Amino acid sequence: MAQQSRAEETRRATIQAAAEMFAANGYANTSLADIVSHPAISKGALYFHFTSKETLARATIDEQHATSMGACRNLLDTALPPLESLISMSLLLVDQLLRSPLIRAGMRLTGEIGDARGTVTDPHREWVELVATIADRAIDVGDLLPDTDSEDLATFLVAAFDGVRMWSTHGNTTRDLPIRTERLWTFVLPGIVDAAHVEFFREYVRRRWGLASLNTE
């Protein structure tokens, strides 16, 4: 059991180290030789756990997806109202992207590889399903307009956030991501929330983003 635990620790350490390079340079511009040159990776450990750069990249996607999805699913168990939890989910993902090379690498690789043949068949589909679940709750409690199609809204929000992420991380920087995500909500809210409540939720977005910026300084 102890040997299995050490092997898993080595595997995850290899993924974390490789993620730094994938996040910075992308899939095509990161070679196995580059990865092996990382001081935290041994050639023996790399080839023991992974048969190719592709299997390592897909393991990175799996690790990132499990980390991000697990954290966001936990919001379903909080006392936050549904729409506020949906806004908070985007803030949580922004925070992960700002702080973690693994998260940046996994999201970047998901787009660059173009499909998923790891343990996660369709990462984007899982995000749409989670967001749609929260949107349904928001419709039920009156946070969203009653004629909102939760599936369509979820598909749009997942695609829009991914677009903001790609735009903001161009050139390997995430400095624009918080403000661009805040603006995304500012533009979207009038189309999905009753006019009388738009300013309330816009203020919630501003307040949460303001607290987040204080926590990252």
The pLDDT tens digits for 118-145 are 556 678 899 999 999 999 999 999 999 9
Residue 211's Cβ-side half-sphere holds a number of Cα atoms within 13 Å equal to 8
Average pLDDT over residues 68-96: 91
Predicted local distance difference test score (pLDDT) of residue 41: 85
Predicted local distance difference test score (pLDDT) of residue 160: 95
d(CA 120, CA 57): 13
Predicted local distance difference test score (pLDDT) of residue 4: 62
Which domains occur in the chain, in start order?
57-216 (1.10.357.10)
SS3 state of residue 22: helix
pLDDT at position 211 over 60: no
Whole-prediction pTM: 0.85
Q: Which residues contact 180 (CB under 8 A, 6 or more apart)?
A: 164, 167, 168
Nearest in space to 145 (alpha carbons), one of 102, 195, 71, 106: 195
Nearest in space to 66 (alpha carbons), one of 5, 126, 113: 126
Contact 212/94 with Cβ under 8 angstroms?
A: yes
pLDDT at position 194 over 60: yes
Give buried/exposed letters for 39-49 (b at 16+ CB in 10 A, else e). eebeeebbeeb
